């Protein structure tokens, strides 16, 4: 009898045999086990998909999910409910800037869909923080000197640095913003058949020989002076607006804005209002360039926004002055701020007013004739300078607490007031 060949032991094979035998013996048990496994996998996929969807949605709307506690929904300012037919798609260039952000706030409150286009050179996303993630607000980082393709019903074209230190920082870029930027917005308005409003400026009157200034005054501008990049840029922008209106039938509006102040001003923009308030709150002397007898007319930003919106919905295609006809000297204005802030500064003592050398081409007088705005728009300012200053001082006090010490920028680009003082020494 031949010896039988011994078989090597294979545990894996043995287990497989046992499983096969078990399946033959108990087919129903195997099927139940497979069903349970499949059910578990399906439930796991559904749970994962639901969790991922919630996280993605929360991040998309600016509200990151907190996995440890229930996420509270962000509260936005109260918004007026309007029908889809009445809701407009409105583009605001420079919408993160001082005037632009105040305009955006009003438009969103009225229920419109707003698209902000800003390159954030002087604009700040902080100005729109209360609306970030809101369904009817879209923010696009873009420079208007480059074309952009959008579908809109209205265009508020505000994009351009407006304070001397900012627009003199890069004069060529300022000119391009006023010219090429305006051309691009007019091209967009022409293609979409949107109405477009240009925020021009009282600087188109230059150092005026006519007082107060009416819209039919042609101005007295030094086209080679340090401010000409802004003054002449806006004058040419007005020319482009009228040319597109007359030649291509584009629906245009032109607002000539006079000195404006209020919340969301850039604390280091070098304008007289922001400089005076920040200096006083930080216990620094208020600096006046020249003898302080040059005059200005200051309007609160809420009044300006009212005027711009009324002009946009009017039938007026020629320029309209939007400003406060109350005229005061810079010295008088500094005294008002000095008295309002008093000793509310780190030094606990009242600040002084000091005079520095006057700047070139600084207009001696500035006062708008707003008879046309009253007649055509039914508009005139409602907020007094003193009441507007109270709100603005409160805003800057919050900015100083948030940002710390703020450098005061002098009238010459690229230099702070401290640097200019050291140079004089």
| Number of other residues whose CB lies within 10 A of the CB of residue 5 | 5
- Say if residues 413 and 165 touch (Cβ distance below 8 Å): yes
Q: How many C-beta neighbours within 10 Å does residue 59 have? A: 12
Structure tokens belonging to residue 378: 């039914």
Does 3 map to a domain?
Answer: no
**Torsion sign (Cα): 226, 338, 322, 300:** positive
CATH code for the domain of 347: 3.40.50.720
**Cα distance between residue 326 and residue 367, in whole Å:** 7
DSSP 275-322: HHHHHHHTTPPEEEESSS--EE--EEHHHHHHHHHHHHTSS--S-EEE
Structural domains counted in the chain: 1
User: CA 336, CA 339: separation in Å to the nearest integer?
Assistant: 5
356-411 per-position pLDDT tens digit: 998 888 899 999 999 999 999 999 999 999 999 999 999 999 999 999 989 888 76
Q: What pLDDT, on a 0 to 100 scale, did the predictor assign at position 65?
A: 41
- Would you state the pLDDT for residue 250? 98
Choice among 156, 167, 205, 230 that is catalytic: 230
Q: What is the pLDDT of residues 316-372, one digit of tens each?
A: 999 999 999 999 999 999 999 999 998 888 878 889 999 999 888 889 999 999 999
Tens digit of each residue's pLDDT, the chain (425 residues) = 444 444 444 544 544 444 455 545 555 555 555 655 666 665 665 655 555 455 444 444 444 444 444 446 789 999 999 999 999 999 999 999 999 999 999 999 999 999 999 999 999 999 999 999 999 999 999 999 999 999 999 999 999 999 999 999 999 999 999 999 999 999 999 999 999 999 999 999 999 999 999 999 999 999 999 999 999 999 999 999 999 999 999 999 999 999 999 999 999 889 999 999 999 999 999 999 999 999 999 999 999 999 999 999 999 999 999 999 999 999 999 999 999 998 888 878 889 999 999 888 889 999 999 999 999 999 999 999 999 999 999 999 999 999 998 988 876 544 444 555 554 44
**Could you give the angle at the alpha carbon of 240 between the alpha carbons of 236 and 243, nearest 5°?**
135
Tokens of 252: 């245009």
Note whether 185 and 150 are within 8 A (CB).
Answer: no
Give the separation between CA 283 and CA 343, rounded to whole angstroms.
8
| Residue range of the domain that includes 369 | 89-424
Residue 206 belongs to some domain of the structure? yes
pLDDT confidence of residue 16 = 45
Residue among 254, 234, 241, 124 nearest 185 (CA): 241
Is position 69 within any domain? Answer: no
User: Is residue 70 a part of any domain in this protein?
Assistant: no
**Can you give the pTM of this predicted structure?**
0.81
What is the helix (H) or strand (E) element at residue 334, kind and residue range?
A: helix 330-341
Annotation says 395 is catalytic = no
Of 138, 385, 356, 396, give the one whose Cα is nearest residue 275: 396
* Residue 76, domain member (yes or no): no
- pLDDT for position 329: 97
Q: What are phi and psi of 419, to 5 degrees?
A: -65, -40
Q: What is the rounded CA–CA span in Å between residue 153 and residue 196?
A: 9
Whether 395 contacts 263, CB under 8 Å: yes
Q: Is residue 46 part of a domain?
A: no
State the DSSP string of 122-169. S--GGGGGGGTT-TTEEEEE--TTS------SEEEE--S--SHHHHHH
Is 33 a member of any domain?
no
In a domain, 5, yes or no: no
């Amino acid at each position: 009898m031949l010896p039988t060949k011994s078989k090597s032991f294979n545990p894996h094979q043995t287990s497989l045999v046992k499983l096969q035998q078990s399946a033959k013996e108990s087919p129903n048990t195997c099927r139940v086990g497979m069903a349970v496994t499949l059910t578990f996998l399906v439930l796991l996929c559904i749970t994962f998909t639901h969790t991922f969807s919630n996280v993605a949605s929360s991040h998309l709307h600016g509200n990151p999910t907190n996995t440890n506690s229930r996420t509270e929904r962000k509260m936005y300012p109260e918004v007026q409910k309007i029908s889809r037919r009445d809701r407009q798609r409105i583009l605001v260039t420079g919408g993160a800037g001082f005037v632009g952000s105040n305009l955006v706030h009003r438009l969103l409150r009225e229920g419109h869909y707003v698209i902000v286009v800003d390159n954030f050179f002087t604009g700040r996303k902080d100005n729109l923080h209360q609306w970030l993630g809101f369904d009817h607000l879209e923010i696009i980082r873009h420079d208007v000197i480059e074309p952009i393709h959008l579908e809109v019903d209205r265009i508020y074209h505000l994009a351009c640095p407006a304070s001397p230190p900012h627009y003199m920082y890069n004069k060529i870029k300022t000119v391009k913003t006023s010219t090429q930027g305006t051309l691009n917005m007019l091209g967009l308005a022409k293609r979409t058949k949107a109405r477009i409003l240009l925020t021009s400026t009282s600087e188109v009157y230059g150092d005026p020989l006519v007082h107060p200034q009416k819209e039919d005054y042609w101005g007295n501008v030094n086209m080679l002076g340090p401010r000409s990049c802004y003054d002449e840029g806006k004058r040419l922008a007005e020319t482009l607006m009228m040319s597109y209106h007359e030649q291509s039938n584009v629906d245009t509006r032109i607002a000539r804005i006079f000195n404006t102040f209020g919340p969301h001003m850039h604390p280091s923009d070098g304008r007289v209002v922001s400089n005076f308030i920040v200096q006083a709150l930080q216990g620094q002397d208020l600096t006046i360039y020249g003898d302080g007898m040059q005059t200005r007319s200051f309007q609160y930003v809420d009044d300006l926004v009212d005027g711009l919106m009324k002009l946009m919905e009017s039938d007026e295609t020629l320029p309209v002055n939007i400003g406060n006809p109350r005229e005061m000297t810079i010295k008088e204005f500094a005294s008002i701020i000095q008295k309002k802030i008093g000793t509310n500064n780190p030094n606990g003592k009242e600040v002084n007013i000091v005079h520095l050398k006057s700047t070139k081409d600084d207009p001696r007088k500035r006062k708008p004739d707003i008879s046309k705005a009253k007649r055509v728009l039914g508009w005139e300012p409602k907020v007094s300078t003193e009441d507007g200053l109270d709100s603005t001082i409160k805003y800057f006090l919050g900015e100083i607490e948030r940002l710390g010490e703020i450098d005061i920028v002098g009238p010459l680009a690229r230099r702070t007031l401290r640097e200019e003082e050291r140079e004089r020494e």
